[in-house]
Amino acid sequence: MNTKEIIDRIATDHFAEKEDILAVIQDNSNDEYLFESADRVRREIYGTDVFIRGLIEISNYCKNNCLYCGIRRDNREISRYRLTEPDILLCCDTGYELGFRTFVIQGGEDIYFSDDVLCSIIKKIKEKYPDCAVTISMGERSEESYKKLFSAGADRYLLRHETSSKEHYEKLHPEEMSFENRMKCLKTLKQIGYQTGAGFMVGSPYQTKENLVSDLLFLKELEPEMAGIGPFIAHKDTPFRDCKNGSLRDTLVMVALTRLLLPHALIPSTTALGTIDPKGRELGLKAGANVVMPNLSPVKFRKLYALYDNKICMGDEAAECRKCLERRVESAGYKIVTDRGDWRA
Ligand code: SAH
């Protein structure tokens, strides 16, 4: 079977064997065909709709020490900040005005954000904006904690698996972090009833093609409602400072294959993709992505939430970001909608 036939089969069956995926990854002569197929599958379910999520980066304090991440515990080069509840609500006010109907509360694993503190924030947002979805992305927590946040009104949770190989996971994380716990958290989140997001970095240090294949098969098995896929980008104050960044092509191929395997998934065209290429986010949308997550964090804190170097949109006020994105999304042939943008069965 040639690569085009393999792509056709994955696009119809939404299923693939290891060898199929490897063949598509290794043959770059049919990339355009792959992207067009992913776009067709996406349009069948979501049309040209692009959902926007207002990202609020609430803290860059983190107790973890992930080797790739710029806000890791051992990075003494950044000043640390956290937003207060009123700060966060102000970000939501701005976002709501601009048409955002999902707010994503993201941060490092900052113990200040206890269940009580987070639950209060979630409740306040939901009280003020009952027509909005709240997504939490605050890392690994206990089952009890995930339940409390869910009861407080959180609708979705983003927790990338980062890599589906235990061996690879252990090369990206310090010994005190556990692959098993990350996996357990993802299963718990699904069980509780969150729309759950998994995902991984493309081109992270030590990653093999086989790792990428297994990342896709893992997504297929877990069936998350959301899948975040972006290139690894080195950060100068981490042990991976000299490592090569993930490539545009490989990231787009992963996005497209994810769309073929999970036709209903909500897939962001990530800021990291826009960072490695000026047209990265547009290309991501054309390769099957249907979500963008612009930043609603106060501009004065933006540069402190640097997970990787050269992150884009550091200086733009939310309103500028929104306009810029609107143009970009339309230039790619899609339309931003004012909608919670829930997963569609
Ligand atoms: N603390 C939360 C949020 C993490 S930041 C959590 O653990 O889920 C969100 C994502 O940024 C991470 O899941 C990771 O995949 C990505 N990220 C971190 N460092 C990165 C880097 N150097 N390059 C690209 N993506 C990175």
Q: What is the pLDDT of residues 87-140, one digit of tens each?
A: 999 999 999 999 999 999 999 999 999 999 999 999 999 999 999 999 999 999
- Give me the pLDDT at residue 20, please: 97
Q: Is the pLDDT of residue 291 over 90?
A: yes
How far is the centre of ligand 1, averaged over its atoms, from the C-alpha of 133 (Å)? 22
Give the number of the atom of ligand 1 that is nearest the alpha carbon of residue 240.
22
Question: What distance in angstroms lies between residue 254's CA and the mean position of ligand 1's atoms?
Answer: 17
Map residue 302 onto helix, strand or coil: helix
* High-pLDDT (> 90) share of the chain, %: 98
Q: Say what angle helices 143-152 and 115-128 make with each other, to 10 degrees.
A: 20
The CB of 160 under 6 Å from ligand 1? The reply is: yes
322 CA → ligand 1 middle, Å: 23
- The verdict on the CB of residue 305 being under 6 Å from ligand 1 is no
Determine which residue's CA is closest to atom 6 belonging to ligand 1: 139
Going by alpha carbons, the residue nearest to atom 19 of ligand 1 is 69
Q: Is the CB of 307 under 6 A from ligand 1?
A: yes
51-58: average pLDDT: 98
Domain extent, residue 241, equals 38-207+214-334
By CB atoms closer than 10 A (0-12, 13-18, 19+), residue 189 is buried
* Residue to substitute in 68, 178, 243 for testing ligand 1 pocket (most ligand atoms within 8 angstroms of CB): 68
pTM above threshold 0.95? yes
Provide mean pLDDT across the span 185-214.
98
232 lines ligand 1 (CB under 6 A): yes
Mind spelling out the 3-state secondary structure of 18-81? HHHHHHHHHCHHHHHHHHHHHHHHHHHHHCCEEEECEEEEEECCCCCCCCCCCCCCCCCCCCCC
Report if residue 105 sits inside a domain: yes
Shortest-distance Cα residue to atom 18 of ligand 1: 69
Residue 300 Cα to ligand 1 midpoint, Å, equals 21
The answer to whether residue 28 sits within a structural domain is: no
316: pLDDT strictly greater than 90: no
The pLDDT of residue 28 is 96
Quick check: CB of 71 below 6 Å from ligand 1? no
Q: State residue 1's pLDDT score.
A: 87
Per the domain annotation, does 340 fall within a domain? no
Report the C-alpha gap between 213 and 22 in whole angstroms: 6
Segment 285-298 shows an average pLDDT of: 97
In a domain, 5, yes or no: no
Ligand 1 mean position, distance from CA 337 (Å)? 26
Taking Cα atoms as reference points, which of 149, 138, 201 lies closest to residue 171? 201
Closest atom of ligand 1 relative to the 160 alpha carbon: 13
Calculate how far, in angstroms, residue 295's C-alpha sits from the geometric centre of ligand 1.
Answer: 15
For the chain, the average pLDDT equals 97
Query: How far is 60 from 78, CA to CA, in rounded Å?
Result: 9
Summarize pLDDT for 263-277 with one digit per residue, the tens. Answer: 999 999 999 999 999
Reply yes or no on whether the pLDDT at 315 is more than 90: no
Check pLDDT > 90 for residue 50: yes
231: CA distance to ligand 1 center in Å?
10
151, pLDDT greater than 90: yes
Residue 69 in contact with ligand 1 by CB distance below 6 A: yes
Percent of the chain scoring above 70 in pLDDT: 100
Structural domains in the chain (count): 1
169 Cβ inside 6 Å of ligand 1 = no
Band of residue 10 on the pLDDT scale cut at 50, 70, 90:
very high
pLDDT band for position 336 (50/70/90)?
very high
Report if residue 203 sits inside a domain. Answer: yes
In terms of DSSP H, where are the helices of the chain?
Answer: 3-13, 18-26, 31-46, 85-97, 115-128, 143-152, 166-172, 179-192, 209-222, 248-261, 271-276, 280-286, 299-302, 318-331
pLDDT-derived band of residue 259, with 50, 70 and 90 as boundaries?
A: very high
| Index of the ligand 1 atom closest to the CA of residue 231 | 24
From ligand 1's centre to the CA of 140, what distance in Å?
13
Here the CATH number for the domain that contains residue 82 is 3.20.20.70
Residue nearest to atom 7 of ligand 1 (CA): 139
Nearest CA, atom 13, ligand 1? 160
Whether residue 325 lies inside any domain: the answer is: yes
**Has residue 244 got a pLDDT over 90?**
yes
| Ligand 1 close to Cβ of residue 108 (< 6 A) | yes
Burial 270-284 (b: 16+ CB within 10 A, else e): bbbbbbbbeebbbbb
CA distances from 220 to 1, 41, 166, 329 (A): 22, 16, 18, 27
